[in-house]
Chain A
Amino acid sequence: MKRFVQVFLVVMVVFGTMLVAQNMDEIKVAAVFSMTGGASGYGRMTWEGVEIAWEMYPEVLGIPIDVYLIDTKSDKVEAANGVRRAIENDGVLAILGNIISGNSLAGGAVAEELKTAMVSPTSTSPLVTEGKKFVNRVCFIDAFQGQAAAKLMQELGNQKVAVFMDVEQDYSVALARFFEDTFTQSGGEVLYEYFKTGDQDFSAQVLDAIAKGAEAFYLPGYYQEVALICLQAYQNGFYGDLVSADGADAPETVEIAGEAVEGLFLTANYHPDAPAFNENAEEFLAAYEKKYPGEKPAAFAGLGFDAYMVLLKAIEMAGEPDREKVAQAIRQIKDFPGATGYITINEQGNAEKTVTVVRIENGQFVYDSMINP
């Protein structure tokens, strides 16, 4: 019996030290994502990409990384609280997130205050990084997406475009404004139709746009509303071009709107059929197809992957898990071969990269073309 107690004690001590050692030698990273609520589709897809990157590269500088999820419920207040909790209570080195721009604005303010680096995979509003030292992103900014959409509209030969703006989303407002600037500068005409997140009926706006002679619709919004606008445009007899943005780059768009979104163009971050960029892109594709057989990754998964990889690279460059050094290193990243293209993080924390144009054909998202900055 005495012997048993001795062995037991030794085992306990060994395990105890191992636990303590592990806690000290672990880099914690919180993924503050929208896993439920309106933007949950994006959150889940992005998380898939983060998981793949984490499984492929589970450690940096010889230290294991622990990535865990905090759900924002797509809510601004929850986003800010989640970031604060991660930094103050959990002692994370850096934050991945948030998903939608409105949440990243709220969460980014906290990260900035607590001097901890944040890398948003998917928030495209220019305001997210504006004037911030610690908030970065790996997707392109709205300005460029709006400009690219305007160029695309002109290539398609449209002169008068109705812009459907979601007055509740910073994302939609920013895209619409940048679209208008570029499109009117080159002689086009823009008319606005407004709606709000959660609206279901857009028939009145669609009819108004048709009556005013719009040749095409620009729909910067999220898929829940964009799908319904396309559906109701179709039902109300609109046959012009439809161009949307990465917010509609989700399978739900086709599931909800069916044949009404045939021919819809999207400005996107990523498409698996686009000319292959680099070995990371190929590795990501292979890993995704292995984990989800028969499925192709959405742009969000690619961006999730890149957000993790950029952070990993920055930690490597910093040489030690130090919050401020990592934050500085992120902005030194140049031509990083990400899954969604070569990424350069500029001094404002924005990613400079290529926009991919995607088209919906026979219910599939197919690669259309590239628009360069």
Chain B
Amino acid sequence: MKLQLLVQHMINGLSLGALYALLAVGYTMVYGILKLINFAHGEIFMMGAFFTYFSITLFGFPWWLGMLAGIAGAALLGLLVDQIAYRPLRKAPKISALITAVGVSIFLQSLAIVVFGGVPKSFRGVYPAFFDKIFIIGGEIVEKRGRQVIVNGIRIPAMTIITFAVTGLALLLLWYILFRTRTGMAMRAIAMDSRAVSLMGINGNRIIALTFALGSAMAAVGAILWVGKYPQVWPIMGFMPGLKAFVAAVIGGIGSVSGAVIGGILLGFIEILAVGIMPSLAGYRDVFAFILLILLLSFKPNGIMGKKNLVKV
């Protein structure tokens, strides 16, 4: 494989991985605090995309306000899901909450089909034009069919740069909340021992609700970037990314935020490179993610960052 091609694959893989990472963070935070795998997370991602889409196209918000509305909407939905579906089950066996999570996922998906319709909506032109710009490094100019075009250069879409920047910022903000605020400290404390925390006079349910809101907001950020890259919104768009992000969270060590980020980026990277190296298996690319999961778990059952005494959130 030529170096230029390899670099291009790596750029594409990294930008996909960054999106998985944003989604994986939400899984891992909820798991850390409640020991619950929130299968509805992929649907919150989908709803975040729809909220953004409708805020901009239907209500005529400027794009940045639409994005904020999408994030706020998803956070609110995350909160609502926790209040209605999970909170009554706090003291029930873990398996009940898990099954409820699957139910919430199916409910939200079906709701989206009924309310928004099954036809994919185009997200093109919703964001301003500079989101679609492509920067080309190197390469040579040739003429093809009367057009001057550049071939063999390394191409970096503006969306990729935005994805990196926004992912970085979002994770930085998350880190700040978790490690530099009292609420963050409470979240980490609940992950360690939820009963002891309530003895300290901290309202556990409030902190859990905040965790859901924060994780859902992260998923919405991921969704906003996702539809910039793959410009269509439809009700089952969250299913596969949600599943992949779950795999990423487990690979990284579920419960660990930095693990989720590493797992997400690794997964995106491997998915793209595997197809690049073995194009004949591209039709089965999702299998790579799960093979990676099985292999990694058989050697490191706790995931990459999943050590004992780890700070969990």
Contact = CB atoms under 8 A, between A and B. Distances in A.
Interface in A193-230: 193-196, 198-201, 203-205, 207-208, 211, 224, 227-228
A207 B7 CA distance: 11
A204 B284 contact: no
Given A167-B284, A194-B280, A207-B5, A256 B232 contact: yes
A218 to B, nearest CB: 16
Interface stretch (B72-80, B115-123, B177-185, B305-313): B115-123
A211 B280 contact: no
Interface string B262-284: 00000000011101100111111
Contacts of A258: 124-125
B272 A36 contact: no
A69 to B, nearest CB: 14
A242 to B, nearest CB: 12
B16 A201 contact: yes
A236 interface: yes
A237 interface: yes
Contacts of A235: 134, 155, 157
B91 interface: no
A163 interface: no
A41 interface: yes
Interface in B273-300: 273, 275-276, 279-286
B122 A196 contact: no
A255 interface: yes
A239 interface: yes
B232 A195 contact: no
A288 to B, nearest CB: 19
Contacts of B136: 237
A236 B229 CA distance: 13
Contact of B283 (A74, A196, A227, A237): A196
Contacts of B151: 237, 239
Contact of A204 (B2, B149, B275): B275
A239 B232 contact: no
A249 to B, nearest CB: 15
Given A198-B240, A204-B275, A237 B153 contact: yes
A139 B181 CA distance: 64
A44 interface: yes
A194 B9 contact: no
20 contacts: A35-B118, A38-B118, A41-B119, A166-B283, A168-B283, A193-B279, A193-B282, A194-B281, A195-B283, A199-B285, A201-B12, A201-B230, A204-B9, A204-B12, A204-B272, A204-B282, A207-B9, A211-B5, A237-B139, A252-B122
Given A37-B113, A211-B1, A235-B157, 5 more contacts: A194-B283, A204-B272, A204-B273, A255-B124, A256-B122
Interface of A: 35-38, 40-41, 44, 74, 165-168, 192-196, 198-201, 203-205, 207-208, 211, 224, 227-228, 231, 235-237, 239-240, 252, 255-258
